[in-house]
């Protein structure tokens, strides 16, 4: 039996990740228009619609560091990761671990189609954490809010709501069996 941390927003929990911004807008569109099972092709029309409509409002992530100092990042996308990889094996936070007592947050500074393509290329090659316009931090608690318009967020691939949110890690909240081949250490 392996014990995993979870993220908590109010009374809701998430195990894998949270996305705020463009990706959450796409997820919301998929769920509003879906009928039946979802495949990768289900995302094509919502991605196209979102490329044309989404405006990339500013998103602020704020937290306290280990010394209690107030910190913040402002960007156009925010991803809260409890695991190192998500859809298609993309790694927004390569050092994220579901057993370390932290959530890893990746903030991407630039918005727009060409920036999104550029970020996607970096994610495919596992280099998002090497970019100067991307920041990855570890937190136990954080606030994520929009500074200029409505911004949706999604958890574990399902639409959840609109910013602002306060989130925190709940260490050891979820237990499951994990094959040794996954390489996740037990707590």
Three-class SS string for the chain?
A: CEEEEEEEECCEEECCEEEECHHHHHHHHHHHHCCCCCCHHHHHHHHHHHHHHCCCCCEEEEEECCCCCEEEEEECEEEEECCCCCHHHCCCCCCCCCCCCCEEEEEECCCCHHHHHHHHHHHHCCCHHHCCCEEEEEECEEEEEECCCCCEEEECCEEEEECCEEEEEEEEEEEECCCHHHCCCCC
pLDDT at 71 over 60: yes
Q: What is the mean pLDDT of residues 94-100?
A: 95
What's the confidence (pLDDT) of residue 185? 58
Region 163-183: what's the mean pLDDT? 90
User: Is the bond preceding 164 in cis, omega lying within 30 degrees of 0?
Assistant: yes
Domain-located, residue 179 = no
In a domain, 178, yes or no: no
CATH number at residue 140: 2.60.200.40
- Provide mean pLDDT across the span 24-47: 84
Q: What is the extent of the structural domain holding 63?
A: 14-167
Q: Please tell me whether residue 1 adopts helix, strand or coil conformation.
A: coil
pTM: predicted TM-score of the whole model, two decimal places:
0.91
Question: Taking 60 as the threshold, does the pLDDT of residue 186 lie above it?
Answer: no
In a domain, 186, yes or no: no
Percent of the chain with pLDDT over 70: 97
pLDDT score recorded for residue 42:
83
Query: Average pLDDT of 80-102?
Result: 93
Residue 63 and residue 72: Cα distance in Å, rounded? 6
Mean pLDDT of 113-126: 95
Mean pLDDT of the chain: 92
Most confidently modeled range among 31-35, 97-101, 183-187: 97-101
Question: Is 123 within the bounds of a domain?
Answer: yes
In a domain, 183, yes or no: no
Structural domains in the chain (count): 1
Q: What is the mean pLDDT of residues 124-141?
A: 95
């Amino acid at each position: 039996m392996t014990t995993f941390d979870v993220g908590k927003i109010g009374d809701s929990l998430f195990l894998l990740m949270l996305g705020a911004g463009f990706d959450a807008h796409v997820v919301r569109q998929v769920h509003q228009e879906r009928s039946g099972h979802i495949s990768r092709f289900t995302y094509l029309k919502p991605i196209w619609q979102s490329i044309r409509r989404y405006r990339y409002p500013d998103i602020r992530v704020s937290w306290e560091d280990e010394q209690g100092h107030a910190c913040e990042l402002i960007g156009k996308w925010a991803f809260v990761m409890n695991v190192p990889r998500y859809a298609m094996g993309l790694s927004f936070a390569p050092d994220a671990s579901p057993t370390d007592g932290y959530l890893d947050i990746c903030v991407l500074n630039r918005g727009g189609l060409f920036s999104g393509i550029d970020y996607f290329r970096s994610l495919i090659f596992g280099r998002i954490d090497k970019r100067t316009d991307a920041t990855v931090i570890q937190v136990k608690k954080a606030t994520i809010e929009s500074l200029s318009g409505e911004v949706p967020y999604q958890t574990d691939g399902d639409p959840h709501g609109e910013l602002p949110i306060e989130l925190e890690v709940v260490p050891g909240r979820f237990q499951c069996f994990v094959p040794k081949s996954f390489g996740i250490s037990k707590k």
